[in-house]
Chain A
């Protein structure tokens, strides 16, 4: 299986060729939005911190911002800074330039003399970059170049019964073709962590999976939150989930059954190929943010209740097995998996259909959220603002 993509000097092939307008802090986000709106081929993200943060939060933000810049779907980067943020636009640019040879330029709003002057220069730079990007020919790549993020959000009973098992089949099919997948949301492994750990390729990875869950539970305890209390929720029980084990098993099923070859911290880039897991929040937007920063070029997203979410850098393909949700929210849903619940299709058959659909998205087919230009991000944080 192959796809048409964009060759990058470092890392995997891109499936999009975006010019990324990247704010280095919240104060650059609006200017970045206006710059992106002026240039065809440019996308922006809305970053809401970058100032008055503890070091650990700054470290996480920097990992995400540099990770976005290095994502294979990004051709080049225009950074918009303010001038007094924790990590200024020049420093951020230098960091990114150490990680990748793709074009990166940066501007500071205070130095340029305000937003309008910054917009003028940044639009010009972005336009030139977008013109170059448009000249880059697509090339054929083996599907093994693909790194797919796997996510669930707005779940209901159909998620664990049908859409997650179907996506698990997709993950197995991709891994068997030599590609890589990342399943995240470590908080949701709790209850089924011992089952996930059994998929570990080595005893070391087995223990890493257990320790990730233990550390997450302790972290939340320090903030006074018991992540097991009230689980499963009364709503879960009414929806047929009797134990936390059952809830968690339905969740981790979306990662498939192949050996887990690596456990990543949030927003880290994989060093291995195959089925990978990442320690992230269960908050879907934050989890997708971390996986895209880790280099995922596409994301598959299972939902039950329905969600409009999209990411500016990586297309998000949303699938549901809830027939009513698909019908009610067809403008936001990409694939209908409800034939599984009617007994018309098996998990495997729908996994194969999803593989076809992912292949089409790699070749340029726009997902619905992508066509609307959606750009949701949420950078995880560990502490209050200073």
Chain B
């Protein structure tokens, strides 16, 4: 079985599709030695992200094991994660100093 998505880090709650995936098709990715699957609930274009689980409104979206943004609306498992449903959480440099 070949993959059509990439998991960047085991802590992630999204994977990135490397091919266009139609709604109802399987998303297949490697997690360590295991092949994992889920069903795409929406069409996911190549290089775009799909939620691995239900992510409530205001929750962190994790890719590379780090927060890449926060949800502005709930995202159900298998749905497309994009600039319309996540946003960058503002930070200021002063708060990042130790």
> Footprint of B on A, CB under 8 Å?
157-158, 161-162, 165, 191-195, 197, 203, 206-207, 210-211, 213-214, 232, 237, 239-240, 242-246, 249-250, 253, 340-343, 346
Does B51 sit within 8 A of A, measured CB to CB?
A: no
Q: For residue A244, which residues in chain B have a CB less than 8 angstroms away from its CB?
A: 88
Q: With A237-B83, A242-B83 known to touch, is A162 a contact of B96 (CB < 8 Å)?
A: no
B64-86 interface mask toward A, CB cutoff 8 Å, 1 = contact, 0 = none?
Answer: 10111100000000000111001
> Footprint of A on B, CB under 8 Å?
2-3, 6, 8, 16, 18, 28-30, 45-49, 63-64, 66-69, 81-83, 86-89, 91, 93, 96-98
Told that A211-B93, A243-B88 touch, could you supply 9 new A-B pairs with CB distance under 8 A?
Answer: A192-B66, A242-B83, A243-B68, A243-B87, A246-B68, A249-B64, A249-B66, A253-B8, A343-B28
Candidates A206, A249, A346; contact of B98 at CB < 8 Å? A206
Contact sample, A vs B, 13 pairs, CB 8 Å cutoff = A157-B46, A162-B6, A194-B91, A197-B96, A207-B97, A207-B98, A240-B47, A242-B49, A243-B68, A245-B66, A245-B89, A250-B64, A346-B30
Measured in the bound complex, the distance between the Cα atoms of B66 and A244 in whole Å is 13
Inter-subunit contact B69/A243 (CB<8 Å)? yes
Distance between B73 CB and nearest chain A CB, rounded to angstroms: 13
Candidates B16, B28, B89; contact of A161 at CB < 8 Å? B16
Inter-subunit contact A240/B63 (CB<8 Å)? no
Distance between A45 CB and nearest chain B CB, rounded to angstroms: 36
Q: For residue A346, which residues in chain B have a CB less than 8 angstroms away from its CB?
A: 30
Q: For residue A158, which residues in chain B have a CB less than 8 angstroms away from its CB?
A: 47
Q: For residue A340, which residues in chain B have a CB less than 8 angstroms away from its CB?
A: 6
Distance between A155 CB and nearest chain B CB, rounded to angstroms: 12
Q: For residue A195, which residues in chain B have a CB less than 8 angstroms away from its CB?
A: 66
Inter-subunit contact B16/A249 (CB<8 Å)? no
Measured in the bound complex, the distance between the Cα atoms of B28 and A240 in whole Å is 18
Distance between B60 CB and nearest chain A CB, rounded to angstroms: 11
Inter-subunit contact A214/B66 (CB<8 Å)? no
Inter-subunit contact B81/A210 (CB<8 Å)? no
Candidates A193, A197, A213, A240; contact of B48 at CB < 8 Å? A240
Q: For residue A207, which residues in chain B have a CB less than 8 angstroms away from its CB?
A: 97-98
Q: Closest 8 CB pairs between A and B? A: A343-B3, A157-B47, A240-B47, A246-B68, A243-B88, A240-B48, A243-B69, A214-B93
Distance between A235 CB and nearest chain B CB, rounded to angstroms: 12
Q: For residue A211, which residues in chain B have a CB less than 8 angstroms away from its CB?
A: 93, 97
Inter-subunit contact A242/B86 (CB<8 Å)? yes
Measured in the bound complex, the distance between the Cα atoms of B56 and A60 in whole Å is 50
Measured in the bound complex, the distance between the Cα atoms of B45 and A207 in whole Å is 39
Inter-subunit contact A249/B63 (CB<8 Å)? yes
Distance between B13 CB and nearest chain A CB, rounded to angstroms: 13
Q: For residue B98, which residues in chain A have a CB less than 8 angstroms away from its CB?
A: 197, 203, 206-207
Residue of A nearest to B1 (CB): A343
Q: For residue B63, which residues in chain A have a CB less than 8 angstroms away from its CB?
A: 246, 249
